[in-house]
Structure 1
């Protein structure tokens, strides 16, 4: 023995993938994940409510309503019958908007076996309870394994087979620690891995979910400043300090700061804050350009998760006494009629802090010593 650690060899041949996966939600991300699972060799059933979408998938192998111009993996069986979709499923992916997760979990609870893992692929925090999506599913589904799939993943790129990476996170039980290759996280990660879709495994469900919820709000902030005429310096500052807000909230809820530096935190935040393909970023850009909310997206009723999350994230942060000034600024503009320029001027002139936090320095910002001229911020 020379004291050098033996190299770790891949153990995928010892992991049992799930043969059959039910994907609940036939929108863009649900269809993309169904395509990933099918490319990985799984039997896939995709459930959705829209009969026209279901027919398009079964007849044409496409979902033109949500993923126009993209061919889905052949062999996906789409249905609007929830029981049919879940019949024989060894694992379930919930890919519906965050506000429907509780209702859908209640609907599937009597239709799946006690050992069937459920991975929530929606990102957000429930109004009132302050629950993350995984906590909602765990409360409703009882002792079934509950996890999430999260990361920097635009649905159209994933469906097209562009190189993509995501995190599969489940809380590890004591038996999972003893036999990690039998854990739901390891089995689902292998089940979803293809040449173009790379998975990572995490046991920090809280940290992964906090990243997914908060990044939507920070993306709106980045969009607002971009739309108002600011450039890369501003966005880099918002991304970096926004990640610090993520870390503090994750830590306060029992998550790990390290998790927030991974795919589900820094990765997802960077992607969402850097492209108008993100509805959150796009909404912010339109608001920053002075377009009234009712006229954004050409007046279409587009659901933007970060708009809802701006309230639920800050409500939760206030409850656990975590300061999240960027998220609070977005909430002020979106939900309390705050002037965008005045709100972000106030954010930029807040007290000077130390980085790292351990220095524990807090100084008045010079701009607070005297009133600033009442004029619009100019980049």
Structure 2
């Protein structure tokens, strides 16, 4: 099967490696011609150290080869996904479009699959999410993901197409739950990083993860998610992974915030924008989301770590 991948970063390239080694022909598109040339000549991606790109991955900076594929994985940051979809809506009509990013669009307040549905009505939207790091996928380490697609027949087809020996894909029709689980866990990862960066200890991080999960559930249920989805791979599974590993960019960003250290501004941190979107949604829906609100304020320099922690620790005591 020929599968297109839009996005030549670590995650897009890692998915390409896994699928190519399973026998699929992969058409990988990256917007930077210099990066494409490097991948073509060295058969490596600088963000995936020690991983060889199989010959079954064709790499191009031109969009025409990508648009020749019926199924396209969109490994593009959530905040830039709308721009890509709008610019190429006509060429993407009729395609199976699988979002591989996690976040909430600040302008539309929608998750990736919903953004596809709204901006390319003629496409079939889906979302691939769950606890995974690009390096693990590229190295062939066992990984389990969720494929969310409202059309269960199409979901079953994509589940088969995207599963490999070491990449197990489970499916759901609850795209809203999968979107929100993947987006909200990034906010909690920032909070967890802040706790460790500020030297509050492992117990504080455990408390944040435990209290953060109900926040995720409250918003997801209010927006129509199924209760069980957040307890699965795309919610709780991804939450545990990103809140406990420095492979997570959101967690590392939180570490820097907590320690008062600099952070590479060129690194995509989806949780920062998501926190601001969640704060707005929480206000509109009158939902109590203190951790997400504090993280949003910290990312905009509206508060400092000491004040933010005092805000959380001074909340009223109540039954769990």
TM range (shorter): over 0.9
In the alignment, what sits opposite 2:271? 306
Per-residue CA deviations over 1:75-126 (Å, capped at 9, x if unaligned) read 1001111122221x12111111111111111233222452x21111111111
For residues 299-378 of structure 1, what are the structure 2 equivalents within 5 Å? 300-355=265-320
Per-residue CA deviations over 1:221-279 (Å, capped at 9, x if unaligned) read 11111011122211111111111111111100100121111111111111111011111
Instruction: Please give the TM-score of this superposition, normalised by the length of structure 2.
Output: 0.96
Aligned-partner Cα distance in 2 for 1:77–1:222: 39
Match of 1:76 among 45, 57, 80: 57
Larger Cα-atom Rg: 1
For residues 139-150 of structure 1, what are the structure 2 equivalents within 5 Å? 139-150=118-129
2:183 counterpart SS class: helix
Aligned-partner Cα distance in 2 for 1:40–1:321: 47
Aligned-partner Cα distance in 2 for 1:354–1:22: 50
Quick one: structure 1 residues 220 and 113, their matched pair in 2 at CA, closer, same or farther if it must change by over 3 Å?
Answer: closer
In the alignment, what sits opposite 2:263? 296
Is this contact kept in 2: 1:130–1:315, CA < 8 A? Answer: no
In the alignment, what sits opposite 1:247? 217
Instruction: Please give the TM-score of this superposition, normalised by the length of structure 1.
Output: 0.81
Aligned-partner Cα distance in 1 for 2:64–2:55: 22
CA drift of 1:314 comes to 1.4
Aligned-partner Cα distance in 2 for 1:20–1:213: 29
1:98 counterpart SS class: coil
Per-residue CA deviations over 1:185-229 (Å, capped at 9, x if unaligned) read 111111111111111001100001101111111111111110111
1:123 counterpart SS class: coil
Match of 2:80 among 100, 106, 116: 100
Aligned-partner Cα distance in 2 for 1:290–1:104: 35
In the alignment, what sits opposite 2:185? 215
Is this contact kept in 2: 1:248–1:257, CA < 8 A? Answer: no
RMSD, aligned CA: 1.5
In the alignment, what sits opposite 1:171? 150
Is this contact kept in 2: 1:251–1:257, CA < 8 A? Answer: yes
Tell me if 1:226 matches 2:196.
Answer: yes
Aligned-partner Cα distance in 2 for 1:186–1:319: 36
CA drift of 1:336 comes to 4.0
